[in-house]
Every structure is written in C-alpha cells, then in structure tokens.
Structure 1
Amino acid sequence: MTGEWGFTTSRPTDARYGDDVAKYAMSHGEPGLKTFVREVLQNSNDARLDNEQPAQVTFKLESLQGDEAIEYLKILDIETWSKHANLATDTKSGKHIVEAIERIKNDEEIRILTIEDENTEGLLGEENADESNFTALVRDVLFSSKSGDTAGGSYGLGKAVLWLYSGLSLVMFNSTLSEPNPTDQSPRLIGRTRLPTHKSEDGDTVYQGHGWYGSLSHDEEGARPESIWGDEAGSIADSLQLSRSDGPGTSIQVVDFRVPTAEERLDDGELADQITEMAIEWFWPAVYRGDLEVAVEVEGETRQASIDEYPQYKPFTNCLDDREYSVSQLNEPEDVAQAAIPLDVPEKSGGGGGVDGQLDLLVRRADTGEYQHRNEVAFIRGAGMVVEYYDRDRVVVGNQDFHGVLLGGRARPWGTDESPGEAETIVEEFLTAAEPPQHDEWVRTETLANTYSRGFRTAVEGIKSDVTETLRGLVAPEVDRGTTGPQRLGNRFKIGNESRGGRSDRESPSSQRVTGDTDISFDEVYTHWSFSGEVEPLSDRNEIRAITVSLIRMAEERATSDRLPVQNISSDTTGVSISLPEQKGVQVGRLEPTSGTSKISFEGVSTEDHRQVETRIKVSVDVAERRDK
C-alpha cells in the first residue's frame, strides 16, 4: 500500500506560498550548502535526549536509477503530485519544479538525501497540536516550538531550507517517537510538499499549495492526509529507502536534493566531503563535548566527521583543554589566557530576567603553521554551534597571532569544574533572542526589542567592541618603543585636537581637550600600514564631533608634506559614520559619531606601500561642549 496526496483549499487568492518561502529563506542567510548543514544539524542537536549519549546524525546520499527510480516515484504517488505542480507554472518556482520532474522522468534518475538522527525526541505531538515537534517541523511555517534555554533556533528557518534544497519542493519524514502517545505505533511517516498557490483546471477551487502525503482523512478544509503509523508506515518507508532503526529519532528525506546556488551539480563524493567539513567547522564545540556525532554515507562508504581530520579547529579546542592552565601573558606559542567580558542583561518588559552576567574570552597564541582561522574568535553559547567567527586580524597586525573562543550563556563554564547557574541561563536566553533567523551573529533583533526593556541594544552591541578592546590587551607584545622603522611600531603618542573656536594643542598645551593613544605598524604580508587608535575627551562636559585620520611620510625623523592614502577605516563604536574624503588630493579617514559620544576606537589600513617609507599617523579631533549640557 502507498500513501495519498491531499492539498488544502481556500478562497481565491493571489498569494504565492512557495515563492514566499523561497524568498524568505534566500534573504535570511546564505542559500549555500553551509546554510543547509548548519540548520539541519542545529535541529537534531536541539532535539537530543537528556541523557549522557550524543545525538547521532547521518547524511545518506543516494542516486536511484532506472527501475528503482521509477518504483520510488510510484510509491510517492508522483502522478497525483505532478498534476498539482503543473497547475502552478505561472510562477517562477512552479516552472522550476515542473522542469525538475520532467528531467527526472526523462533521465530515470533521482538523487535523494536522507538525514537520520538517533537519540533524539522524534516527531512528538498530535496531528493538529498547537505546539509540538511534529507541528513545528511538518505543519507550521517559519515558526519553532523549541522551548529549551539552549536551543539553537527560535525562528524555524531550518525546516524552510529542507524544501528549498529539494528540486521538487518535497520532503518525507519517518520518525520513531521517544515518548508515549503513541510510541507503540512507531514509526510515524508523513510527507509534505510546498507548491505555490494554484487553481484547479476549472478555476473553481484554489489550493493553498500545502500538500501532505499520508493516510487520507476529511475535515472542513477537505481531504487531507494524516500520518501513517506502525507496520504500514514501516513498509512504505522500506520502499522509499527511508527505513530506520528502532531507536528514537527522525529520518528526513529531501527528494531530488540539490544546492540552489551551485553553478553545476556536485557529485556525491564532493558533497560528502563538504558536509563533513562544514559539520566540524560549525559544530566542533558539540562534537568536542560528546553531544553530537556526525557521519556521511555515500556509495557504501561512511565518513565520520572528526576534529582530528580537520586540524585547523584544534587551536579552538585547545583553548578549552588548556583553560585551567591559563596564563596572564601570552609569552609563548600555545599559551592560553582568559578574560571576563561583562554583559549586563536588562530585565524583561514584564519584569524579571535581568542579571549582571559575563562572557568568558579564551585566547591562545598561535603556533607556527596555524594559519587557518587565525586571529578569529569563535562565538559560542550552550547550543554547541559556532554562531560566527569574528575576524580580528586588523587588531593584531604587528602583534601576536592568536585563536580565540568567546563562551556565553550555559557554555561560559566549559573547560572548568563549574556548572552553569541561573546567571548563565539568563544570559543564554538573551543571546538566543539576539540571533537573527540565520543564527550567525548577536545583534539587535525584533525578539530582543519585544522581550527586553531599555538597555538591551547597548548590551548586545557592546559585545564586539569589548572583545576587541580585551584582545588588544592580551595579544599586544612588549615592544621597544625606541626603535623606529617600517617593521617596528611606528608611533604611540597623545592625540591632538581642534577645538571649536579655539587653537590647536600645538599652539597652547593648556588647550588640550582630548586624550588617547594610536598605534601604527607595517604588515609585510599585505605591504601596507595598519593603524588603530582610541580617543576620548578629558572632560565629561565635552563630546567628540568628528575625527580625521591622515598618514604622514617621515624623513630623518621629521614629517614631510608627503601623505599616504588611507584605504579603509572602521570603528567598533556604535553609531559612528565612516567616510573616506580627500584632503589636498589624498584620501583620509573620517569618523563622525552620534551626539553624546565620549569615546571612539578605530582601526584601518593604508594603501599598498612598496617603498616602506616610515609613516606616522595624525589624528585631528573636533571636540566641543556636549549639546545636552
């Protein structure tokens, strides 16, 4: 026996459901293979059972050909499905789907990707439950029912990419449930397609595009399949290459698997290699801690995702391994230092939930040959996924190369004997809310704005600037300031200012109204000068209106009229406007902060300087009395 397709109906509408899903997924994260691997593994990792065993995820790539492919499509009731797909060809996504089914029929070949997880909850929940694993993954659209404080996602984008990576926009599910109701009837099998909204041939019926494959039932919306259970589900799963073990978990099959942005179809071996490496790149924390195991099966061969096979991620795990032996200064390669980054979580709008929390920054001095991900900080919380690799290469030009790990929320105590407490749980919830749908950074989000009271923006946007400032103190070596030259530190001196209506500090020392430091050094790899600085008024009654940075050529320890163009300048200070205007025909850096800004940090680089002439940095500051005084 096979299942049947049923599509929900509605009153006439111009909506194009399938196109909306694709556009949403495309606009919220890179639609490359990285996005798919991150989202799929995140879902399985979040569903891990609360025991000492890891979630086990296996990607199985298969290409069915000839009679095997024909029989597979027959079991899927592809003829009924195709009739609906052909009614949606007035949309771009509908045309692509019809073209895909014609290609499959002509070639008598179809590629399927099955993602099987073990030691996970399975698709729990009734067919029409308001909140459950089942409704979140199979029924609902772009919503998530994940309630754990370490869950990786809160938007449900992960399930949207499943259909985006299917050439037919068709995904099958087979699950063994971890809890009663009704565990004794496992497995549970159902399929879903996401076609654009379309009308029947006579135009009298409008189908929303939601289509399910299962056991046909009838309700006020018409005929709609529900899950198939038990032996019948197991028999169909066998025919669809979707059978699984008796252990709790879910198998997801992406029919006609493809990478939407790939210029050409990758072969199974290339896909397997990429999936394996991406699993380690983004989930080495969960793999390292024994919470997650990932494998890829292709052509009868199983490839295990192992940190040992990708040594470029060992410096990050070494940060955790050697945390208990941390030092105050990074004197030798492989030394690990640590520092606390404050994170003051405001109260929620309804009260409660606030805490004076912290993140822990671990920094390891890079050894010779450790080039990949060098001078990057891996941002991690309790979900065990790397949220992002924060590139701080420009901070350390001329200083010591490093690898860093920023641990937040329930991940903060990793590498110690501590256990996460209430403060870590509150920070974890805050960081989760600070992640956009693609979960690739901590920023101001709508969820933060709707959940927390005033102060949430300052808290989340201050993380990167605090990390940068802390790194400067940890990775800067002791340098002999008396030595000059392109391969040494160029200069470090007080910053001058240009007071409104007054004289510069060169005219009168008493007019000095700002203070700060600057650094400049030559990078032999990129043959340019790298500079950084920090400026603040001496009096809290003043504010910075603008900063201009120019690069001056030197000759025999004296400044010349020759200038080196500024190629790029940036600032971690919130609200600073950046531009690169010209002064006397030479490009300079210009920073203009918002009103009330009392402290600005910046960094940048020059254009290439093959002459390697000694160069110093000139910082002119426009400072005035605060507007609110």
Structure 2
Amino acid sequence: MADAMEFGEWLGRQLSRRGTTQADLAAELGVTRAAVSSWISGRVQPRIDKLQAIQIFLGLEPGPDALQVDAADRSSDLTWYHRPAHADGGRELGNAAAFAFESDLAVLAREATQNSLDERYVADEPVRVRYELNEISGRRLERFLEALRWESIEPHLDAAAASGQKVGRVLGDGLAELRHKERLVLLRIDDYNASGLTGDEYEDGRFAAVVRRQLDSRKTGSAGGTYGLGKATLWAASRLGTVLINSTLSEPHGGRSERRLVGRLDLPWHRTAEGEWAGPAWLGVPDAARDAARSWWADPVITEDLFLTRSSSAPGTSFLVVGVQESVGEAGDLEEMRNRLAEAVGRNFWAAMIAPGGGRPTLEASVAAFRDGEAVVPEEPVDPYLAEPSRARALRVYYDGGTVSEPTDSQSVVQSTVPLRVPPLKEGGGAQTEHRAVLLLTEADEREEKTNRLVTMRGSRMVVADRKVTDVPMGAPRFQAVLLAGGAVREPDDATAAAERFLRTAEPPDHDDWRKTDDLVSTYARGAISRIEEFGRAMTAEIRRILHRPAPDTRDEGPAELRDVLDLTRPKKPQSPKYPTVDALDGEILPDGAWRVRVTVKLPAREDPWHGVPVLKFVTRSGPHAVADWAGLTPESGCEVAEDGRLVFEPGSRTARFEGETDVTSHPVAAAMAEVEVELRRAKEAV
C-alpha cells in the first residue's frame, strides 16, 4: 500500500484523468469535500471502507495494488483532438523538420534504427529492431479504419489535401490510392530492449519529446542523433500524415508500463466546416484538465485492430506508419520495399551488428512483409556479412586482434592510426588533446561493386560518411577502408570521450559527414574547423600511404590481362632532386586502344617557371622501352601547354596536374600487352 502522499498524488491524477471534481467524489462517497482534499494533499489516508468505495467509483479491480495503478481507459472514449488555428492568423503549411530529409524508405530506416540504438536500455544486450510491412484490405482494413476513428479525421485530410501545397498533393495521392484500390500499406517498426516513451504526458521526458514536441533531442554522449529531427521521417513517410505508437515503458508511469498508445496526425493548416485548424492532431482519451487528448492504456483488442501488438513484454516502442510512401518500384511491390529496408539497415548499421570478442552485438535487426496475414517475405535477420562482406570481415579481425601492419595476402586486414587533434571548448578552456582513430583496410570482396571507398563511424557505430578515395597508386588492389573514431575504437585512449563529443558536434542533421556546423563553431575554440578538415585529409593520406607499400606478388590471382594493364609503375626519380618529377600516375585504356593518363608533378620551389616535356614509354617484358606519341595534352592545374608541346609550370607552384592521351598509331605494341610509365624531361633533353 502506498503512503499517504503517494496515495494523494495517485487519487488526484485519477480524478484529473476522468474529468471528475473533488466535490463529485465527496458526494459519491458521502463525505465532505474537505475530507477528499485532505486525502489528495497527502495529510491523511481514507479508511478501508472508503478505499474500497474509491476503487468501485473508479472502476478498478479490488485489491491493494489497484490503488497504485492508473485506472484503465475505455476504448469507447477514444477521440481525435485537433489543435485550433493560431489566433494571430499564423499558419504552418507543413512540418519544416520533415523537409530536412528525403521521403524515402532508406532514410526512414536509417533514422529510425539510429533512434532505437540511442535508447538502448540494458547495456550488455542488443537492441532488437524489427521492420514489418503489412498490406491490408477487406475486413482487416475495415477494422483498422474503425479503430483509427477514420470518420473523424477524413474531413481534415480532405481539407488539407485541397491546399495545393506540396504536403497537400502527397495527402491527396494517398487518399486517392486508398479509395480507388481499397487497400493500405502499413509499416511497423518495433524495438525491444529500448527505454520506451517514458515520462509525463506533457512535461519533459521521452514521451513529450517524441509525441508533443519538435527539435527536442534529449540525447547525450555517443548517441547517433543530436538534433531531434529524425522522428519527423516517420510522419514524412506516411502518405496520410499519420503515425500510431504503442510503447512498453522501462519505468512505469502511473503504475503501468504496457500498451501506452497514442496517435499523431501531422497536417498543414486547413479549414473545415467546423473551423480553422493549425494542423497537428492527437488520438487518445479526453484530458479535461488540458482540453487535449492524452495517451491511453489500451486493451489487447484495440491494440490488435490497430496492428500494434508487440511480441514480448520487453521495453521499447512500436511506430506504425499509416499509408507508407512507396518510393521505389511499382506501387504495392512489398518485396522490393522489404529489400530496400533490409539493404538500408545493413548498409548503415553493419558494424553495430558485429559483436566484440566475447560480447553481444549492439543491434539485431530483421525485416518481414505480409499481405492480409500471409507472408510475402517471412521474417529474416539482416546479416552484416552479406551487407558489407569486406568491411564486416575487417571489423571481425580487428575485434579478434588479428590485424597486421602491412598487407600480407588478399585476406589480411591492415590496421593503422589517424590522429585527431581535439581543440578545447570555448567554455572551460583546457588544452588541446589528441585522439588516435583506428583505420582498417582490406581487399574488396569480388561481389562488391562499389570499391576503393572509406566509411567512417564513431561510438554509435552507425556509418557517418561513405566517400570515394581518389588518387590511389596505380596497381593497387580494389579495397575497402573503415575508420573507427571516438567510442568506436576497441581500446579507448584519454581523448576518446573528447573526440566523441567533438565529432558528434561536427555532424549535420543528416549525420552523413564531419564538417563545419553552427554547433561546432559555437562550442569549440578557434581552429575547430581546421581540425576537422585536417582529420579528413589525414584519413585519405594514410590510405594512400598503406597502398604505396610493397604488396605480395598477386599476379597469379585474377585475370592476368587486367593485372598487367593496371600495374602502371612510376618512373625512377631523376638523380637531381632540384628538377620537377612525376609524383603520381593514373590511367586507363580507351575503347580505341589509346592510353589516357593523369599525371601529378612535384615541383621544387622556384620563382621562375619550370619547363618540361612529358614522355610516355611502353614498358615491355623485353627490349628497350619504346616511346609513344601524344595525341593531345590537357593541363588541369599549375601548368600550361605551349605550342611546341612543352609544359610550362606556374612560378611558385609546388604541384601540377595534366592529362594526356596517346596516338594509337605510334604504339609499339597493343596497349594491353605492356605497362606504361611517364617521365618528365628537361626541354633540351627531349629534342
């Protein structure tokens, strides 16, 4: 039994939830209003007979625990509360937060999974995320719309659709689809071992942040999200602007934790026969004290009718996107939609699904698709080793301590470090610290189409950036690289926490890069932008350094013709270091058999312009290196081409780049039968 104060708070909450006054309760129980006031204030507790009478009045099951639990809500009381239009005439013709993201299933999967990871409840157990597509029609659709109180929101949807604005056109398309085909596609996103939407209905807490507010993140530390924008993708993904929620709480609210349901309709300003409306609306039971609708403790029947039944009592939340936008393939192609969801989760969260040695992964994910109760694609787990074969293998080797400092074979994983200098905060000062991020590099799997790429991540182990690495040495194998920074490193250093915060501050709302942001500039001392840019350059520089190292002979692996073509070697540097030299060479064979090469030249410091003549040679397996003629030279930076074919380098430049294409008729052998090299001769040597 609760003490007098707890009982008083509970009783006051029950009266407020029912819209009942103290006088009403006093009259029902045959006591004075002052007696009820003393109970609610916590000064005294009622006698046993009065406690039993209170239980009957509130419709509670008899028993001592009943006086610590909120009274159950009746589904018959459900209603939609529509926010009236602003009295000052202001209008919001759409949710600005939703426009920060593309309306796409892949974007939704990334943002929703990130939010689930950020709410991990038990630290040594994985967050389990399940995506389920349901196409419904016939009686299932009828029951769903009845439980949704469709007749109450349909006029508002029609009015908003008639606005002619972008949001209105999407709503109109969704309504036409529903009425014409008499079917509806629902997407439910369940997470387990997450905190759930805890907290008060209106005050600070997870529930109010998600259901009532915009741009309220409430996240700290290594969380993947920072702006409070991600939840907007749920409503943006609905062609009817509607999302329903069922949460199992990790911390009871009002003595209850299971089946806390609420719905939110996100519309632009609109006008109906009943008046003008701001746009947002909430499905719940009436809250007389607030003139609003609040969440309700639902029974299993309406939970099932709304397709919100959860598979276990583990804490977490289920979001149901009503009329999900079918942004890929033909409308109604559930299998393609399911594949897009699975691909997005695998591509962005493969690292979170791989467990460190002896532990459990941070994330387990699965996707399923159903049509009127029949499985179109049964539930299948997302496999990180299928999503990212090379990178997943590299991370596994790193966790197992099997990395090497230099490549030894095609399966080896090279580990190196990249320094990140973290500047001091504007407030609190302090000294700059240095974090050692971990770089992993391995040969790409033959199944991977996009190669020679670097992905970056921090503590959440969600992929932040995915970028192409250019200017790699000729003859280097196809590779994949992973950079682990902040909390993602296996053995943290003294600057890990500082690096995690610094990088988190440097992420834009899309969390797809580390770069200048307003938060970064306002939080860190001068030089923060330079440190981020320096970090980015250091990553790619370290990759190129690793690839420049001598690798084992792999000419017996793969097509010999292709390896010979790609094994373009740089010429030896001239004896004198005081003359321009070729620093990097890249090239390809064109369809007509000509070589196209891109050459980077390193220039010694000099006030006067350097002059030189590029010479391309065929390096055959025997005989002298034959010279081929140029069909044309194109300057790219730091140089010009004179009429006689000489290169004239800009005074003061330290590097220059040009592109050249050979004359096929001058080739001593077919291009595929030889390697090529380019040397830069002094003008008088080429005569």
* TM-score category, normalised to shorter length: 0.7 to 0.9
Q: What are the within-5 Å matches in structure 2 for residues 318-357 of structure 1?
A: 318-323=393-398, 324-352=401-429, 354-357=432-435
Amino acid at match of 1:427: A
Matches of 1:548 and 1:216 in 2, distance apart?
A: 84
Matches of 1:49 and 1:160 in 2, distance apart?
A: 23
Taking structure 1 as reference, are residues 104 and 200 closer, same or farther at Cα in structure 2, changes over 3 Å only? closer
Native 8 Å contact 2:487 2:496 kept in 1: yes
Match of 2:186 in 1: 112
**Which is worse superposed, 44-53 or 321-330?**
321-330
Amino acid at match of 1:279: V
Q: Secondary structure at the match of 1:82?
A: helix
For structure 1, the residue ranges without an aligned partner over 5 or more in a row are: 497-508, 570-577, 621-629
Cα displacement (A) at 1:57:
0.8
* 1:364 alignment partner, one of 423, 434, 442: 442
Taking structure 1 as reference, are residues 554 and 320 closer, same or farther at Cα in structure 2, changes over 3 Å only? closer
Cα displacement (A) at 1:444:
1.2
Match of 1:145 in 2: 218
Residue 238 of structure 2 corresponds to residue 166 of structure 1: yes
* 1:563 alignment partner, one of 625, 632, 654: 632
Native 8 Å contact 1:399 1:475 kept in 2: yes
Native 8 Å contact 2:473 2:585 kept in 1: no
Match of 2:321 in 1: 254
Matches of 1:385 and 1:427 in 2, distance apart?
A: 16
Matches of 1:110 and 1:284 in 2, distance apart?
A: 31
Native 8 Å contact 1:520 1:532 kept in 2: yes
Residue 95 of structure 2 corresponds to residue 16 of structure 1: no
Cα displacement (A) at 1:134:
1.6
Q: Secondary structure at the match of 1:286?
A: helix
Taking structure 1 as reference, are residues 557 and 113 closer, same or farther at Cα in structure 2, changes over 3 Å only? same
Matches of 2:414 and 2:441 in 1, distance apart?
A: 5
Match of 1:215 in 2: 285
Match of 2:171 in 1: 97
Match of 1:503 in 2: none
Match of 1:518 in 2: 583
Native 8 Å contact 2:134 2:369 kept in 1: yes
Superposed CA offset, 1:456-491 (max 9, x none)? 1111112231112111221125399xxxx9754354
Match of 2:500 in 1: 428
Matches of 1:122 and 1:282 in 2, distance apart?
A: 23
Native 8 Å contact 2:435 2:493 kept in 1: no
Cα displacement (A) at 1:138:
1.6
Residue 197 of structure 2 corresponds to residue 123 of structure 1: yes
Matches of 2:145 and 2:447 in 1, distance apart?
A: 49
Native 8 Å contact 1:194 1:209 kept in 2: yes
* 1:489 alignment partner, one of 546, 552, 568: 568
Matches of 1:78 and 1:609 in 2, distance apart?
A: 72
* 1:295 alignment partner, one of 337, 344, 366: 366
Cα displacement (A) at 1:235:
3.8
Residue 294 of structure 2 corresponds to residue 226 of structure 1: yes
Match of 2:118 in 1: 46
What is the percent sequence identity of the aligned residues? 27
Cα displacement (A) at 1:604:
8.6
* 1:62 alignment partner, one of 120, 123, 134: 134
Match of 1:384 in 2: 461
Matches of 1:83 and 1:546 in 2, distance apart?
A: 75
The structure richer in strand per residue is 1
Amino acid at match of 1:70: E
Cα displacement (A) at 1:266:
4.8
**Larger radius of gyration between Structure 1 and Structure 2:** 2
The two structures have a TM-score, normalised by structure 1, of 0.79
The two structures have a TM-score, normalised by structure 2, of 0.73
Residue 477 of structure 2 corresponds to residue 400 of structure 1: yes
Aligned length: 561
| Cα RMSD after superposing both structures | 3.9
Cα displacement (A) at 1:92:
3.0
Cα displacement (A) at 1:176:
0.5
For structure 2, the residue ranges without an aligned partner over 5 or more in a row are: 1-74, 356-360, 553-563, 619-624, 683-687
**Which is worse superposed, 527-536 or 10-19?**
527-536
Native 8 Å contact 1:515 1:538 kept in 2: no
Amino acid at match of 2:459: G
Taking structure 1 as reference, are residues 19 and 428 closer, same or farther at Cα in structure 2, changes over 3 Å only? closer
Match of 1:410 in 2: 487
Match of 2:349 in 1: 283
